[in-house]
């Protein structure tokens, strides 16, 4: 299991690095790459949760590899905290701090709901009428 988490973490960290290279943050600029990594990572965590619960008995290494490894390496809430502290402008810091948490939570729920809607057969879906 340790190898699965480590391999997943390497993949997730490389993906986050690629995102940081694609969206570089200059000093004083808004850290879009960190925000995007955290929100997209949370969306995928929600999708993973739904996929694994709907799959019956998935392989025992899927959750550690993808959830802890890949998505744990891709998301970067420690960098987010440092960026909030270093924001310089208290208004931006509060907006970024609260906005990231709200966006991340909404993303998890969205990933969960959308994935369940796609994976569940029509007969198991709740009627909204």
- Whether the CB-CB separation of 117 and 125 falls below 8 Å is answered with yes
- Whether the CB-CB separation of 43 and 110 falls below 8 Å is answered with yes
* Reported pTM: 0.85
Report the alpha-carbon distance of residue 46 to residue 117 in Å, rounded.
12
Report the alpha-carbon distance of residue 68 to residue 89 in Å, rounded.
33
Confidence of residue 128 (pLDDT cuts 50, 70, 90): low
Report domain extents, the chain.
2-123
pLDDT one-digit tens code per residue, 16-36 = 999 999 999 888 788 899 999
pLDDT one-digit tens code per residue, 52-84 = 988 778 888 989 999 999 999 999 888 888 888
């Amino acid at each position: 299991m340790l190898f699965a988490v480590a391999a997943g973490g390497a993949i997730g960290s490389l993906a986050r690095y690629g995102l940081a290279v694609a969206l570089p943050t200059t000093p004083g600029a808004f850290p879009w790459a960190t925000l995007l990594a955290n929100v997209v990572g949370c969306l995928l965590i929600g999708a993973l949760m739904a996929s694994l619960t709907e799959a019956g008995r998935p392989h025992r290494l899927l959750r550690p590899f993808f959830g802890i490894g890949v998505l744990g390496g891709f998301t970067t809430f420690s960098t987010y905290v440092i960026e909030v502290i270093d924001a310089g402008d208290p208004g931006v810091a509060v907006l970024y701090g609260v906005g990231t948490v709200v966006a991340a939570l909404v993303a998890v729920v969205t990933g969960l709901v959308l994935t369940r809607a796609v994976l569940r057969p029509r007969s198991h879906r709740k009627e909204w009428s």
